[in-house]
A and B are shown apart, each in its own frame.
Chain A
């Protein structure tokens, strides 16, 4: 059986700098997969290549066995991979409901002629239902008329995921979803991710919060300086000597 997402020999060079070097890993359907590594390891670059933001210098990204690397981001999204961004990237000037409605864009394609003539009533209602249910899922039901920019940090994060979830993707890429959260917010967010996964969405996340990663992920890939370092379950990664060395520095680096 092919994996949902497979990354083969993925490489990204910026001029002379090789940010990601020959990376291989697989994400199985229904898993929560973590991608970790010290700062500058190339995690976000990897994300950007999977989501189509960058075209890889070398290597392939396969979704259900089909190559998607090099496609523009909206084509990748249409294949069923939706990403969130680092920080709270939202339509801050639009209402919470409108944010979620943008997320339904792929399912309910707006048609300009139908819109002028008023023939798209059913599609608009369905899009509205979908947007509301996504907001409900992430506990934002009562906030739909607020401006997204006015929400608290935790709510903004949840909204970012609700926008992604509104298109019902097969795979959600979460770029550092726990940044700047207090332990309570982190716990709530982990709960949301487990529920998201239980609904059948596969999750690939980049994160620095080890507690969250270890508590959440079925499988973890660790990278360092653009290279694959180790892969396995949380307990394997926690005790893996190479991982410990990458994070804490090996004895031989100490002068």
Chain B
């Protein structure tokens, strides 16, 4: 009951929130919701102990796939978003064969190389990927009405509501996976892969499972992004964006489900409000780098460790 109340309050707050901020901040809210899904799906992969540098490119696979099936084949956009997720998962499944011959640092580098290959293929093949200029005029979500509210997807508020629902559903699934025996097995694969294997865990298939699920949700995030901004190009998914995702995850901390999400929210607020006010948004990579170094030095367990400190103290009382 108490939990239900908390979630009801959160839902109401999320409904009101976009009406309190400026138009450009409403757009930021949309990007924030999508980024939360990217970083939360990234955490599922890190549960198995593997860090990828290809996650943003995989997200791009979802964006390109959804953009192409809706534009070229005329598929209904919500279905296109699902196709985007499925394609990203499928590409990840194919990549898992070469990539999971490696682990740790080698996997990191391998995933970067695989991501760059995909990105260069988008650049190289004008048909169907549009080359370096990418795809323009991607179909927007069709407007619809649910009686009390008219969704008009030229308004960021409407798209925020839509993406918030989709992302909330995805987060719920990710949460269920993490708290299930499957999630426990991911942890086991991370901390002692040999002992896990001796207990009968097929390491390769569990690493692949985590990679495929994480990629599928990243693909959905990419598709959400594509249908919002209406244009994508290979540079929307380059390594600079990946560095932001890594920064969110590391600054937030990857020990808990909410850690990376917290990192994403806090850094986005910092970026969009503080830096923009100061007129420093051009120096974002510089400042993100500084924050990354400072948080590794002084907050090795991320922002979540601060939250845990407070919640633990409350339990102790």
State the A residues within 8 Å of B (CB). 51, 53, 72-74, 77-78, 82-85, 89-94, 98, 101-103, 105-106, 108, 110-112, 115-116, 118, 120, 123-124, 127, 163-164, 166-167
Contacts and interface: CB of A to CB of B under 8 A. Distances in A.
Contact of A105 (B173, B177, B185, B191): B185
Interface string B120-142: 00000000000000000000000
Q: Which of B185, B187, B194, B200 has the most CB of A within 10 A?
A: B200
Given A51-B198, A77-B198, A85-B198, A112 B180 contact: yes
A193 B19 CA distance: 67
A91 B195 contact: yes
A49 to B, nearest CB: 14
Q: Which of A92, A103, A118 has the most CB of B within 10 A?
A: A103
Contacts of A72: 197
Contacts of B201: 74, 102, 105
B192 interface: yes
21 contacts: A73-B194, A74-B197, A84-B198, A92-B191, A94-B184, A94-B188, A98-B184, A101-B184, A102-B188, A102-B195, A102-B201, A105-B181, A105-B185, A105-B200, A110-B180, A112-B180, A112-B213, A116-B180, A163-B195, A164-B199, A167-B199
Contacts of B177: 112, 115-116
Which bucket holds chain B's interface residue count? 20 to 34
B86 interface: no
Nearest to B182: A110
Interface in B170-196: 173, 176-177, 180-182, 184-185, 187-188, 191-192, 194-196
Contact of B181 (A73, A91, A108): A108
Contacts of A127: 181
Contact of A77 (B184, B191, B199): B199
Contact of A93 (B191, B209, B213): B191
Contact of B187 (A53, A91, A108): A91
Nearest to B198: A83
Contacts of B192: 89-92
Contacts of A94: 184, 187-188, 191
Given A105-B185, A112-B182, A124-B181, A89 B194 contact: yes
B181 A115 contact: yes
A53 B195 CA distance: 11
Contacts of B191: 91-94
A83 to B, nearest CB: 5
A85 B198 CA distance: 9
Contacts of A103: 199
Contact of A110 (B181, B203, B213): B181
Contacts of B196: 102, 105
A167 B197 CA distance: 13
Contact of B200 (A74, A93, A111, A116): A74
A115 B182 contact: yes
B187 A115 contact: no
A116 B176 CA distance: 5
A8 to B, nearest CB: 23
B188 A167 contact: no
A40 B80 CA distance: 62
Contacts of A111: 182
A101 B198 contact: no
A102 B185 contact: yes
B202 interface: yes
Q: Which of A84, A89, A110 has the most CB of B within 10 A?
A: A110
A161 B18 CA distance: 55
Give 5 nearest A-B pairs by CB, closest first.
A115-B180, A110-B181, A106-B200, A77-B200, A110-B182
A196 B192 CA distance: 25
B197 A120 contact: no
Contacts of A118: 176
B199 A105 contact: yes
A112 B201 CA distance: 14
A112 B188 CA distance: 16
A74 B181 CA distance: 17
B208 to A, nearest CB: 12
A51 B251 CA distance: 41
B215 to A, nearest CB: 15
Nearest to B192: A91
Nearest to A82: B198
B101 to A, nearest CB: 14
A32 B199 CA distance: 21
Given A98-B187, A110-B180, A115-B182, 8 more contacts: A91-B187, A101-B184, A105-B201, A110-B185, A112-B213, A115-B181, A120-B181, A164-B199
Nearest to A78: B200
Contacts of A77: 197-200
A82 B201 CA distance: 12
Contacts of B195: 85, 89-91, 102, 163
Contact of A167 (B181, B200, B202, B209): B200
A74 B180 contact: no
Contacts of A73: 194, 197-198
A66 to B, nearest CB: 17
